[in-house]
Chain A
Amino acid sequence: MWSDWETISAFISQACPGLLTVIMVLAAPLVGALLMGIDRKITARIQGRIGPPILQPVYDVFKLFAKEPLFLNRLYIFYAWLYLAFMILVVVLLAMGQDILMVLFVHAFATIALILGAMSVRSPYSRIGASRKIMQMVAYEPILILFVVGIYLSTPHPHSFLASAVMQLKQPLLFTLPLLLPAYFAAVVIKMEKSPFDVSSGHHAHQELIRGVTIEYSGPFLALIEIAHFYEVFILFLIMAMFWSTNLWIGAGIALAGFFAQILVDNASPRLTTFWMIRFMWAGPMLLALCNIIWLYGMGRG
């Protein structure tokens, strides 16, 4: 009985209304940090290194908070806060079962806040990173909107954009959105800044962009960005798990498979140019997403 979301959420909200939101807001960064730790471990093993402890991302954040706060201007610190606030808001909106189109917009704005923060300093590396981050958004944002449209069309009549409606589906989303799963996966690879799409913010210091968008953040302010990133990792794979919302175990399995797949992709592919990314995303995954949507209309779900 503990395999479907409705039972769990009903149980928790019966115990205490709003508790579910609190649990999710608190658990999200931990899950995200854990996933990132596992990511680093596996990557290290693939590359023949031992790798850091699984909890290294958490240690990093604590260490960053202890450092002296240095800054370039006031404005970009505010954007770091906004980035974090909007990531948390995404989790809150999802936990409350709100409109997923709005969730998508809020999520997009979190990224925009990061971009604007990077653009408010006169640092060439961070500005180039920000420009490329915009290109990344142009590459994946249409796919995410199509994904939301696909979810809407998958809900029974009258259609609904509410996240809670997705959780009440009688049939897994994967059955109606089979082509959107790979398309969404490609978007996740971009969002996770993984090769071949890690153009705006390199994980490796030897890249031409150094650290890209977040290069000018340091100390506690960088910690804010890191925590926001934990939230984002959680959100991305939570949404991937929604592809099989009728059984949480299978959903988690899909999310985990996607998680390992993106580590493999990261390690197996070279870093490609921004334009290659746009061309690839608009030609490949976007076409997949479109086909899926057209198919749904063809099935008379419009």
Chain B
Amino acid sequence: MGEWLLILLILAPVAFGLLAWAAPGDRSRGWAVTVGALATIALSLVFAVTAKTGESWISLADLFGGRTEWLAFGLELLIAIVVAVIAVRVRSRLILALALVQIGLAVAEEWFSLRAAPALPGADFRIDTLAIVMVSIVSIIGSIIAIYALGYMKHHQAHAPATAQGSGRFFFVLVGFLGMMNGLVLADNLRWLTIFWEATTLCSFALIGHDGTPESRKNARLALLINSFGGVAMMLGSLLALSGSGVEHLSGITAANRALIPLAFLALAAFTKSAQLPFQSWLLGAMVAPTPVSALLHSATMVKAGVYLILRLAPGFTGSRVMFAIALAGAFSFAAAAALAVGQSNAKKVLAYSTISNLGLIIACAGINTPLAYATAMMLLLFHAIVKALLFLCVGTIEQKIGSRDIEDMGVVMFELPVTTLMALVGMASMLTPPFGMLVCKWMAIESAIASPLILLFLILGSALTLFFWAKWLGRIQTVSYHATLTREKLPLSILSAEYILGGGVVLTAIMGIPLFQILFAPLAVQTYQGIVISAESLSILDSVGGLDICLIMLFIALAAIANMLTGRYFKPERVRLPFLSGENVVTDARTFRFRGLKDEPDEAWTTALYLDTVFTETKITQWTNWLAILVLLTMFALVVGI
């Protein structure tokens, strides 16, 4: 049954996406998307529950008989040809060149595999705990975003430029994306991995370019270019694995005695997909797309493919210097992207840089490559997916309401959109405050990084900068004057329910952080590193996480909340005062924040947070950090060839 579920997980989203495309009206499309989303969630749950413990392998040849390799080869070629056609249509010589290289590599790989049977036989798909966790994240969070998109797109299409594509195609790609992503995390055969890898690239190209404006077309092209480069790296990696060590499976690469060269190429592909420095520009450009697309790219799909691949490969290379270079690249991205976020007041840009930064942290943990670091990376991946989805959805709602994505304009949202703002507050607070999961992760990350001081230093500097940009934003959106009651928010059901579910998810992971670690992630890490030589200390440190008293922190927050409620009886309108403006407040019936300035002219009291744009200038930092990141990547390749 597992095998059919697996195929359904890949194909059902695509089928429902097709239904949504074919649907004649908004209503029927809404049904198709909702049913498709719920079905995907249900499928992933059934899949997780019924899966056998340990690993199981599935080959298409066993299911259908005959030579399914031809199917894989055909699909691989087809996707490369589609990329080439797109390249011609968007008139990009570079993308065309990359597509042609991909076609060449696909043919070369086929020729190699026909010439000699692979040394290590294997299956097309692998089901294990990592894959199940990934499938659940993709299917559940991705589906919630798809449901949110129903409410969002109604508003968006009403104001969209005339060049925008239809809603039908949008939902087809959006929902189908989940199927491709599921395939990606389940594939073990490098050829199938490449197919899904490239399919997600095409999906993101279509979604980023949805509005059809010159800017969105340009950014979609950039995303296609960078990710096609990643695709070439991946195909080159698989070709080298096949020609060098005779393996054509991910499991083979980790098993084949130190297949370092394919590892380096696959890591390069992962870096492009996860938008690590110096490949970050495509993810920043992606924010021109409608918000659900950003939410999907940043949380459940696309960028998670890269970190998944690193996580999949890492345990096979413990103690390797290449893994150290990967960890270094991740830690560097963590700190550099945080520095880049400090200077930004564009909300979506801050979110994008914070995604890059967090993914860097995940890659750093994966690269550190101990059981604790591995479990940390998995937890970070889960929390980040939930929080980023929530934050993007909230920012999208706020943007539609106030018509701006500038952080400094968000001083009014607490009053006008209390629910959305509260959810955004929870999301942001979870990025840096106890007792939320992210902080536990940071705690574990520092504990794991202690053996590699250079990585530790980047983590410490990055943490300080992370605090900087989140605190500024938190401070702005929670700004509120005294109101007896707040506005009641009128939002479509799909938007509200998505926000509530994800917000609840964030709180739940805060409460369940440690148990989740003990029940799911610690055993996952132990199981992953089974049979690999590691020190006993690195296993015993897993237990120290249980010593963290999250309940105590919760208790004190609850105490503060209770005390605050008890002081509630003092909160009477007649006790409300205006802020101190040197005694020059303009006093009227309404509460204003104006003061008597020059010639007694009333003036608005207004301050913005620090952005330090002379220090944290985006162009300047990007230039420097990109060169440094390239240097780190070159170091990785130098280590591979043994310089």
Residues of A at under 8 Å CB distance from B? 68-75, 77-78, 81-82, 84-86, 88-89, 92-93, 96, 98-99, 101-102, 105-106, 108-109, 112, 115-116, 118-128, 130-131, 134-135, 137-138, 141-142, 145-146, 149, 152-153, 158-159, 161-162, 210, 215-216, 220, 290, 293-294, 297, 302
Contact = CB atoms under 8 A, between A and B. Distances in A.
Contacts of A88: 556
Given A101-B447, A112-B433, A294 B453 contact: yes
Contacts of B516: none
Contacts of A82: 557, 560
Contact of B467 (A120, A128, A137, A297): A137
Contacts of B439: 105
A135 B556 CA distance: 27
B478 to A, nearest CB: 5
Contacts of A216: 579-580
B634 interface: no
Nearest to A125: B580
Nearest to A108: B467
Contacts of B107: none
Given A101-B447, A116-B471, A158-B540, A77 B478 contact: no
A116 B481 contact: no
A120 B480 contact: yes
B576 to A, nearest CB: 6
Interface residues of B, number: 64
Interface string B1-23: 00000000000000000000000
Contact of A73 (B464, B481, B605): B481
Contacts of A109: 433-434
A130 B475 contact: yes
Interface of B: 411, 432-434, 439, 442-443, 446-447, 450-451, 453, 456-457, 460-461, 463-465, 467-468, 471-472, 474-476, 478-482, 537, 540, 544, 547-549, 552-553, 556-557, 559-561, 563-564, 567-568, 570-571, 575-582, 593, 605-607, 609-610
Contacts of B567: 69, 77, 81, 220
A98 B434 CA distance: 15
10 contacts: A70-B577, A84-B560, A85-B557, A101-B446, A109-B434, A120-B475, A124-B607, A137-B464, A162-B547, A216-B580
A183 to B, nearest CB: 13
Contacts, number: 180
Contacts of A158: 537, 540
Contacts of B457: 290
B579 A69 contact: no
Contacts of A130: 475
B478 A85 contact: no
A220 B560 CA distance: 15
A116 B480 CA distance: 12
Given A116-B471, A134-B471, A89 B609 contact: no
Given A118-B475, A135-B468, 4 more contacts: A88-B556, A112-B471, A120-B479, A210-B580
A72 B605 CA distance: 15
B560 A73 contact: no
Query: Which 7 residue pairs across A and B have the least CB separation, nearest first?
Result: A119-B475, A123-B579, A85-B560, A81-B560, A69-B570, A78-B564, A85-B556
Nearest to A134: B471
A147 to B, nearest CB: 11
B446 to A, nearest CB: 6
A302 B453 contact: yes
Contact of A116 (B478, B568, B578, B593): B478
Contacts of B456: 149
Given A131-B472, A158-B537, A290-B457, A73 B482 contact: yes
Contacts of B537: 158
A228 to B, nearest CB: 11
A92 B551 CA distance: 13
A122 B560 contact: no
Contacts of B557: 82, 85
B475 A72 contact: no
Contacts of B564: 74, 77-78, 81
B432 A131 contact: no
Contacts of B451: 302
Contact of B575 (A68, A118, A293): A68
Nearest to A89: B556
B563 A81 contact: yes
A118 B578 CA distance: 14
